[in-house]
Amino acid sequence: MAKAPIRLLVVEDEVELLDVVSRLFTSLGFQVKVASDGQAAWGLCESEDFDIVLSDVRMRGLNGLELLKRLKARNADRPKVVMMSGYSDIPISKFYAEGADGFFEKPFSSESVRQFLIDGLVPSFERWAKYNRKPASERVSFTFRSFDEALRTRSLKAGRQGFFQPSDAQLPMLGTFVDFEFHFRDSPGLEKIEGQGIVRFHQSGEAPQTLAGFGVEILQLELSVGKKWVEHVRDWGIVASIPES
């Protein structure tokens, strides 16, 4: 039996671009619906079930960031929300902090987005378990009392797809691979979380109540550990994919 096509909602207020993107993903096998602004997209999401929402950021009325917040407040896991923008007036960290499952700058490669959307529907712990680690130029290691206490106190600034690493040193380049180890003294069966991630954003720490550091998206974790990460983060009601700080 053939798989059902991926249900994709494309949100874009530039009519010509909306038509181009809609035709593109339809030709790639997606079942596509479109909305020309955030309010129309929200209405469709209330009445229909989508696997993925691919949304522009800057739109009249309800913009992409506000749409993202609404969708993630309703359900952090579904639909997946991927943002796209050609402007840099909103830091990328803000989208990850509000729960975005991905971000692409315009113009983007259709193949890279297609594969990202398909991969994004696979449970994260399954993706992490299949990933082959790369040589890393950064390594972080910390010890906490327990996983749950680290999440409760935000000693470990964890999200659904990664974590924020405070740092007063020179920040690693975007796209740098990072090996990480988190040790837990009082978490039987989860004494250590060891894996690899990639640096997705920097934070300067200049804004009020923010820390300098970098956001890391998880790429690799052993299957059972990845499941526990996802379960614990969900139990604590964390919406952020990668926290800002």
Place of tokens 């010890």: 143
Instruction: Give dist(CA 225, CA 38) in Å, integer.
Output: 37
Q: The domain that contains 115 carries what CATH number?
A: 3.40.50.2300
Interatomic CA distance for residues 180 and 197, integer angstroms: 8
1 located within any domain: no
By mean pLDDT, which of 1-5, 125-129, 198-202 is the weakest?
1-5
Nearest to 54 by CA among 73, 40, 39, 68: 68
In a domain, 53, yes or no: yes
Q: Each residue of 29-54: pLDDT tens digit?
A: 999 999 999 999 999 999 999 999 99
pLDDT value at position 2? 56
User: Domain ends where: 72, 88, 121?
Assistant: 121
Domain that holds residue 202: 127-235
3-state SS, residue 125: helix
Q: For residues 77 and 138, state if they share a domain.
A: no
pLDDT band at 7 (very low <50, low <70, confident <90, very high): very high
Q: Is residue 2 part of a domain?
A: no
Does the pLDDT of residue 209 top 80, yes or no? no
Same domain? For 111 and 168 the reply is: no
226 and 183 co-located in one domain: yes
Report the CATH number that the domain containing residue 206 is assigned in CATH.
Answer: 2.40.10.220
Residue 58 lies in a domain: yes
In this predicted structure, the answer to whether residue 133 has a pLDDT above a threshold of 80 is yes
pLDDT value for 37: 92
pLDDT by residue (tens digit) across 65-99? 999 999 999 999 999 999 998 776 788 999 999 99
Domain count of the chain? 2
Residues 116 and 24 reside in one and the same domain:
yes
98 or 2, greater pLDDT = 98
Domain end marker among 91, 121, 151: 121
Whether residue 189 is found in the same domain as residue 90: no
Position with higher pLDDT, 239 vs 189: 239
Query: What pLDDT score does 106 carry?
Result: 80
